[in-house]
Amino acid sequence: MKKMTALIADDQPIVLEGLQSFLEKSPGLAVEVTATAADGRELLELAFSRPFDLVILELNLSGVDGMMALKKIRLRFPGLPIVVFSRYDDPKIVWSTIRDGANAYLLKNSPLEEWRHALDAIRQGQTFLGCGIRLEPIKRPETALVKKAVYSGEAVEDNAPGIYLLTRRESEILALIAQALSNKEIASRLYISDQTVSVHRKNIMRKLGVCNAAGLVKAAYELGIS
């Protein structure tokens, strides 16, 4: 696997050094840290000066705060993977970063296995949330605008995190799960393999913060997917 060149930013030198060592020495991550930044201004200067495959940033940065830096980097580089690595687990903060363009959100106590899952998801163009993070589903999404977003992947409202996180295919599969179809039946309906359905199901559960089929059905109802 080709290594991803990474730019990482944190305002604490010991955290920055530890994260760099962790990313480069941990098996299976395939990351080479080619630049580090100690504040938001340095982060932006480096991000805009040369290409990177990945940016990892803390939200609590001096100079330019991490949220603003995230927005600026995303505006300049729409396709650049960005991971937010933070101690904050407030759902509103997490949702704001995803809405503003983060591809993954991990807590600072995330284990190696979670980093592997996050980077694998990023390489596949998916969004990843750490297992300690929960985003509350919206309660009344019964509008044409929101239903359109479910199937287009567009973000429409600050209080609609689940909709933004699901891809079109995931939304289709969640709708069929809500109809009590098995993985085999869903695979037959969508002309894909059982294994592919299983992978999508796991991704949907992770994104919506549920752990079983009942949780998926409940989430589908609350998101207006049926």
So where are the chain's domains? 4-129, 144-223
What is the enclosing helix (H) or strand (E) of 6?
Answer: strand 4-9
Tell me, which fold does domain 4-129 have in CATH?
Answer: Rossmann fold (3.40.50)
Query: What pTM value is reported for the model?
Result: 0.64
> When comparing pLDDT for 103 and 127, which is higher?
103
pLDDT of residue 93: 87
Distance CA 11, CA 212 (A): 39
Q: Which residues contact 133 (CB under 8 A, 6 or more apart)?
A: 89, 91, 94, 105, 107, 209
Residues 101, 71: contact at Cβ < 8 Å?
Answer: yes
Higher pLDDT, 7 or 218: 7
Architecture of domain 144-223: Orthogonal Bundle (1.10)
- Cα-based torsion angle of the residue sequence 27, 30, 34, 39 in order, rounded to the nearest 10 degrees: -80
